Every structure is written in structure tokens, then in C-alpha cells.
Structure 1
Amino acid sequence: MNHIYLIEDDVKLAKLIQMFLLKHGYTLDVFNSVTAYQDHQATFIPSLIICDVMLPDGNGFELFKQLQNEHTCPIIFLTALDSNQSQIKGLNLGACDYLVKPIMPNLLLAKVNAILRQSTINNQHISEYKQLTLDHQNKTISFAKLDLNLNENEYEIVAFLVKNAPHPVSREVLFQHVIGREYDGLDRAIDLKVSRLRKKLTALFNASYELNCRLDIKSVRGKGYCLDIQTASDQ
């Protein structure tokens, strides 16, 4: 699941965009000012950033360089400034698109989908972390060349923990990413999925006697979940 940062000072509009994109499979962090963005502690790594130009304590053009330095994802400007010069400035800075308010929700969704599709094409489909190999196109993961045979939710859990490694990911963040809705503080769906995944990994590695390494998911008290990778040198 792709995560989006939305930097937008219009609280009502930001909420509408968040609810609309959430319904279409995206999760969002929303910041209503430059300061709110700069003061936040990262929970998700964004796949896309949508940034307003006119903000109460600065503007998106000035913030753009920081966004570029901190993230490698595409950036869209969303603003009421419809002059050609403003659009040219935004695109020349390096933004991948410049959307003028008011924008129809379906057009925004189509733009987001298209940009993320292109971003996926431009990125490598295979990534590696320690002894894990992730095929993002086919959504498969192997560990020490052993296919983990994960379902889609299990793939999303492991892939997201890899993406944030070595830092733990909170239950709330993992819930939102995998389940696709806001965490209400009571729903234990993500805990059940992690528990089943742990049992699956334990059974898999217990059956693979020749492997001298193991993969597990560790609970970090007060912080959430992270990967626990044991290699031959650790044993």
C-alpha cells in the first residue's frame, strides 16, 4: 500500500482528500503548516507528497528543497495559484505535476495513480535487505534463498518492516498500512496477522534444518514491531 504526505493548510479540504484517498487504498499523513511537517516524527516513508504552495508559515516552493533532500518520492504542488509563472516555477523546481484548486476528486485520484505507476516503473522491482530479497512486482519474498510463500497481507507486513528497518513500526502505523483504515485503538486485526505470520515463519524455519539463519518479527515494548534477523554469526 502506498503512503502519501499531504501538506495543506485548509483543514476541511485536507480531511476530504484524506478520506477520499483512504477509500481508494492510500494512507496519508496530513500536515497543516510547514512547522507541522518539520516537527513531525516519521511514521511512514511516503511514496508521494502533495504540497500546497501558500501555507500559513511559509510556502511550498521554499519547502520543496527540504522535501527533496529528505525523500526520493515524486512531489505534486496543489494550489490556488493558477498563473502560468507559478506553474512553470513549480515544475522547474522539480515537481512532477502542478494541480490547480479546485480539483475534482477523481482527477486528483487519476493523477496520483498515474504518477505512482510511473514511479514504480522507474524503480527497481527487486530490493534486498540483509538476507531478504523482495520482488515488489510479484509480491514475493525469499530469505536466504528460501521462498517464504507469503500471502498479500504477510508480504505487506514484512516489506513495510524492511522499508522502515532498523526502526520499529508502531501497531497504529502498521495497522493503517496493511488493513487500510484508521486504527481505533481496539481492533486487534494487525496483531492477529502478525501472530499468524510469526507461527508461519517458525514452522518454516523449523522444517528447514539446513538453514543456519532465521527470520522473525519482534515486539518492541512501547514502540511496535521490527524484524529480527539471526545469521550464522549471531548464533
Structure 2
Amino acid sequence: MTSTSLTKHARMTILVIEDDRKTGDYLKKGLIESGYQVDLVRNGTDGLHQALANSYELIVLDVMLPGIDGWQVMSALRAKRDLPVIFLTARDQVSDRIHGLELGADDYLVKPFSFTELVLRIRTLLRRGVMRESDTYKVADLHVDVLRRKVTRKGIDIVLTNKEFALLHLFCKHQGEALSRTLIASEVWDMNFDSDTNVVDVAVKRLRAKIDNAFEPKLIHTVRSIGYSFGEDS
């Protein structure tokens, strides 16, 4: 760890809410060595209190906690605060991951985990957090509430999957820009896809069916040989 890296993170404080003593101590020690200040709490009730009473740049949160569980902590936290949260848990079912993200978590990492991967994810979220995005967007008669994951058009509720919402959120942040399929794949799926994979086009088609097909004006536009743009004008 270089002195420059330590200085960069020195003022960033992370709250770890983890009841397993060995895991909690390991996380605290490792994150301190990575240049962060760390508060460690071992139950959900105290963790929520700490999260609401203090200023943290990020929270690492377990699900299975004494007191109130991680789901309850996340729900109560999102009602009052907007800061990056990573679930770090042994709950490895897809339904658990979806539930955590739907509650408003920014990331979900399953135990056993790579500490290096955790630190990389933390750094990614903190970089994003330097430039906080808008919590709400209005494009024509489309309304997007990012924190509540709520989408309406002409006052009609529109239910989106996590990936559809992530795609719409990306479009909202880059209105009027031509976004390539590669960029969309990287941002929404956090990975690169081969050029012959049509996952982006399929996802856009599904999103169009929900937010565009029955409405005017159309908001999603195909940009020939590039990808897609979003907004009232093509």
C-alpha cells in the first residue's frame, strides 16, 4: 500500500455490521490496512443506530444478524439515508440477491468471499459516490424515482426487473447521448459481451415494450451502427 493510496482513503469511514466475530475482526483489520477508517458493530439494532447517527461513506452489511436482520436494517436505512451499501452474506440464493438489491443495496457479495474483490467493489462504489446522481428523473411524462425503484408514465405504474431498471437508469443519466451496446453491457451487466450476443438488444426491446410501445412520444431510439439514445427527440 503506497502512501498516496492511504492518503486518498484516509478520511473515508466504513461501517461494518457483522455478527460473526472472526469475520468482523478480519474485515475491520483488512479495511484499516487498505486505508479506511472502520467502525464495527455486531448486531442489527446497534448497526442501524450507528448508520443513522453518524456520517459514513459506505456500509458493509450482513443479513443474518441478532436484533433486527440485514433486510430490516436496509429498509429502515433507505427510508432516511442514501449512501452505498454492500450486502456481505452467506445467503447465496438468487432470490436473496434480488431481494437485497430491490431493498436498495448497491452490491451483493456472497460468503466465502475474496477480500481483494470486496475492496475493489468498495472502491468502485466510493468513486461513484463522489458524484451522486439525481434521485429522480422526468423525461416527457415518464417519472423515475431511483431510491424507491418506482417508474410511472402518464401516471401508470410500470414494473421493471432489476436489469430493466438499471438500463432505464443508465438511459436517464445519459439523455441525448448515443450509447454503444458495449458501453451499455459494461454498465448494466458489469461485464463485456461478444459482438454476436444480443442480450442488450433483447433487454432494450423488453424495456421498450413497457415504457414506450403504448405511449407517445417514443423515448428509446435506435442509433444505427452504434446502439441507442434516450430522450424526447431522436
TM-score of the aligned structures, taking structure 1 as reference length: 0.49
Structure having greater relative contact order (Cα 8 Å, sep ≥ 6): 1
Alignment TM-score, normalising by the size of structure 2: 0.49
